[in-house]
Amino acid sequence: MCGISGIIYRDNRSPDLQEIKMITDLITHRGPDDEGFFLGPQFAFGLRRLAILDLSPDGHQPMWRGEELCIIFNGEIYNYIEIREELSQAGYSFRTGTDTEVILAAYDHWGLDCVTRFNGMWSFAIYDRRKQLIFCSRDRFGIKPFYYAKVGDRFIFGSEIKQILPFLTSVKANVPVLMNYLACALEDCNSDTFFQGVLKLGASHNLVYDLRTHDLDIKPYFKLTLDPGVGELSELETSRLYRSELERSVRLRLRSDVKVGVALSGGLDSSSISAIASRIYREQSRLPLSAITILSTDPDTNEEAYARQVVQHCGLDWHTLMADNHAYDDHIERTIRNLEEPFGSPSILLQHMVYHRAREAGCIVMLGGQGGDETLLGYDRYFPAYLMSLPLRRKWSGFRESLRSSQLSALQMLGYCGYFLSGSLRLRHIRRKCSFFRDPFMDLIDTDLLKTLAANNCDIVKLQIQELTSSQLPHLLKYEDRNSMSNSVESRLPFLDYKLVQTALSINNNFKIKDGWTKSTLRRGCDDILPSEIAWRTRKICFDGPESDWLKDRKAIHAVLAESRILGEITNKIPNPIADPLLLWRLYNVARWETVFQVGS
């Protein structure tokens, strides 16, 4: 796990060591163990290394294969052992125990198609001297970041936006992106970022830069597909298959030469990972798996009792920390700087605190439950799609079952159905709530996206794919990467093994939510390794913190809003109070982001 940097000089001049070193130094937190640089004929590579596999100097990057191929790589290829064995049989030899060397050999053997054989998370750049190109790639779900920009005579890329900002003539907000965030709570839905001129390579995409012509070609290499055979299995067969695939995914992600832990909230996803990983980890190391849990001072959002059951059941080495108002104040500006773009809610700060505690506990690798809700329909907002999938004779009974196993009232459930199934109703709600925004800026909202979201809520599989590729998972993965790597910790996400994801999508829709139970397949598949209070838990807290306390000082918050030049341009007088606390947070977050990065409009 590392941070990568690259500058290509489009005027073909010799590279500048100080420039590549400058932007590589900006991401020292991503790789405190080593640094390396390579100056090519008209480009430069830089890397910061966080050593996970083969901790020796043999893992130094940039890494070469012969004199023709050079790589900088951020991520993990979990099936590198199996690929290395296949390549060894094809005549390749290896001098290190790293997955980085395997990528180079795989590219040499299979070319651009090598990425289709990788199971993992990655963002890398390979210099191919023979073909005079730089081949860049990002993993299937975009777990690892890759940002780029054309600025004057330079093409710059890196693991974080802050590496690109020094080259911009001015730092300006991407206003359409900003409006989708403020009004619609939508982030990372396409290749744009909150900064004008800064783009991100899409998940499942390759980028090939021709050093002779300075043309670049961006193409996808992967698309989610269904396995019809999975959909034909019985409910019992389905739960057993999913459990088996989840265990395979966890086992792959326990491959490490450093200490591994798990982020445990007490919810179903992290608890399932903890139960499976603790058994495998103890078999391999003879040691208990470490678990990190953040506790809340608010009893309504404190999951300590749930987490304690899992800790005792699985024999975990438990580390806890407390979230309170003081912790919020200490972490907010740091988190804004780390995340680089406005984010959804104050609860994201808690994730940063968890990874800070993990590093203190010596856990350099952490397993997490990210992706479980999106692949297995874990949120209450998925009930409308479930109800739409039922035949007419089953809709009323399905409605009543959903009420029993969720936290929604009948009125709330009907409200969810209207909001998520009708793009026009959702837009009217947004315009009413955001009436203080000036009309020209409200017109920048992506109404086509809202219509697409509504249409996909009428089809479970389309909804799942949408959540994984645009509306939900991308921004969650950004939070995951920045919060972990800012603490020099590698986060691994077993629910996002691509084979496991395709299994989840292929499950018979009747089993995805069953008798009103979300994530029914996971519950049934893991109910023999978890306490029943965890496996069949209905109350979902979603890793929240005491947000009501944090946002209580409205006077101070509105003072910050009043100082924002960006908000002053796009809004009329901001009302006080604002009924929706998360809208208030988004406004506040934009104002703080504007100050931290000196952003203009």
How far is Cα 226 from Cα 203, in angstroms, rounded to an integer?
A: 19
Task: List strands edge to edge, sheet with 290-296.
Answer: 317-323, 290-296, 260-263, 365-367, 490-492
DSSP 8-state code for residue 470:
I
Concerning whether 542 is annotated as a catalytic residue, the answer is no
| Of 353, 292, 370, nearest in space to 487 by CA | 353
Q: Find where tokens 């966890």 sit.
A: 250
- Helix, strand, coil % over all residues of the chain, rounded to 5: 50, 15, 35
| Of 132, 270, 120, nearest in space to 211 by CA | 132
Q: Given its phi and psi angles, is residue 45 left (phi above 0), alpha (psi -120 to 50 degrees) or beta?
A: beta
How far is Cα 238 from Cα 503, in angstroms, rounded to an integer?
A: 9
Residues making up the chain, counted from first to last: 601
Cα angle 38-42-47, degrees, rounded to a multiple of 5: 25
How far is Cα 197 from Cα 149, in angstroms, rounded to an integer?
A: 6
How far is Cα 548 from Cα 11, in angstroms, rounded to an integer?
A: 54
Question: HSE-up of 509 (CA within 13 Å, CB side)?
Answer: 16
The amino acid that residue 283 corresponds to is E
Strand duo 365-367 + 490-492: pairing: parallel
Across-strand partners of 216?
209
| Cβ proximity of 149 and 171 under 8 Å | no
Spatial CB neighbours of 224, under 8 Å, sequence gap ≥ 6:
465, 468, 469, 501, 502, 505
| Cβ proximity of 272 and 236 under 8 Å | no
* φ, ψ (nearest 5 deg) of residue 198: -105, 125
Q: Pick the catalytic residue: 2, 314, 434, 526?
A: 2
367-381 CB burial, b ≥16 within 10 A, e <16? bbbbbbbbbbbbebb
Question: HSE-up of 297 (CA within 13 Å, CB side)?
Answer: 12
The CA-based diameter of the chain, rounded to the nearest angstrom, is: 71
Run of H or E including 304 = helix 304-314
User: In this structure, what token pair is assigned to residue 179?
Assistant: 């409006």
How far is Cα 156 from Cα 401, in angstroms, rounded to an integer?
A: 53
What DSSP line would sit under 152-178, residue for residue? Answer: TTEEEEESSGGGTGGGSSS-BB-HHHH
Peptide bond into 62 cis (omega under 30): yes
Strand duo 317-323 + 290-296: pairing: parallel
How far is Cα 253 from Cα 251, in angstroms, rounded to an integer?
A: 5
Instruction: State the catalytic residues.
Output: 2
